[in-house]
Structure 1
Amino acid sequence: MLISPAYAQAAGGAGGGFDLMAFLPLILIFVVFYFLLIRPQQKRVKEHKEMLSKVRRNDVIVTNGGLVGTVTKVIEDKDELLVEIADGVKVRVVRSMITDVRAKTEPANTDAAGKKPASDEKKEEKK
């Protein structure tokens, strides 16, 4: 034989102890995935939910199916919208199926009593 029996027996296996260095690459991969994939996705979902909660009448929206239309009515209890996609053609759309709000309408510029501020009244008088 070419290898002596004493030399072959000397090469023992590694100890059964916990080795942190073996798990370090896995931990680093998880950290990289968290900051590059998981965290940005959570941020995007949060922004999408906020956008959906702010949809109101006369907003121009785009649905998941690619339909572009104007919101004519918001049905709060069913979480649906009535969207006009063409003249006289209205469809009901589930709020979660909206992908984008293209044109936001400005909130009504009135105070709590429903009156316009004095500066707006002066502008209208000049017209």
Structure 2
Amino acid sequence: MTTTTMLAAQAAGGSSAMPILMMVAIFVIMYFFMIRPQQKKQKEIRNFQNALEEGTKIITGGGIYGVVKRIDLTSNLVEVEIAKGVIISVDKGSVFANAMASQTSGTKA
């Protein structure tokens, strides 16, 4: 084999790995910019739900603001007072945010 034939064969073989490397690079970028931040956010929400206490001001998944009145761990329900004397029961998994934290982090005009 001549030198040019060997170089051409090496060049052709090396270029077949390039698409695989590009796909791996795209996956790594997607992981660090999309998947990892979402996992962190879910972990924060789970920790907040596990640390719920009576009297905590919360926001439910449906956007209802209220105050936790009672937590029933056996049925995984939280009783939330949304107005004076109006108490609703919601699933603990639908409590997403601390109302006090979201009010202080709002935009200022």
Structure 2 residue aligned with 1:22: 19
**In 2, distance between residues paired with 1:103 and 1:57?**
14
The structure 2 residue matched to 1:33, chosen from 10, 19, 30, is 30
> Which amino acid in the other structure matches residue 82 of structure 2?
I
**In 1, distance between residues paired with 2:49 and 2:23?**
37
**In 1, distance between residues paired with 2:14 and 2:97?**
54
What are the equivalent positions in structure 2 for 1:63-74 lying under 5 Å apart? Answer: 63-74=60-71
Query: How many residues matched?
Result: 90
Normalising by structure 2, we get a TM-score of 0.74
Q: Which has the higher contact order (CA 8 A, sep 6+)?
A: 2
What are the equivalent positions in structure 2 for 1:1-127 lying under 5 Å apart? Answer: 19-103=16-100
Task: Note the residue ranges of structure 1 that are not aligned, 5 or more in a row.
Answer: 1-14, 105-127
Task: Note the residue ranges of structure 2 that are not aligned, 5 or more in a row.
Answer: 1-11, 102-109
Give the secondary-structure state (helix, strand or coil) at the position aligned to 1:66.
Answer: coil
The one-character-per-residue Cα deviations of 1:59-108 (angstroms, maximum 9, x if unpaired) are 1111111111111100011111011111111100101111211249xxxx
**In 2, distance between residues paired with 1:45 and 1:65?**
17
Where does structure 1 differ by over 2 angstroms across 4 or more consecutive aligned residues? 15-19
**In 1, distance between residues paired with 2:22 and 2:100?**
47
Gap change, CA 1:88 and 1:23, over 3 Å in 2: same
Identity %: 33
Retained in 1: the 8 A contact 2:65–2:99? Answer: no
RMSD of aligned residue pairs (Cα, Å) = 2.1
The one-character-per-residue Cα deviations of 1:33-77 (angstroms, maximum 9, x if unpaired) are 011111111111111100100011001111111111111100011
Q: Greater share of helix residues, 1 or 2?
A: 2
* Structure with the greater alpha carbon radius of gyration: 1
> Which amino acid in the other structure matches residue 84 of structure 1?
E
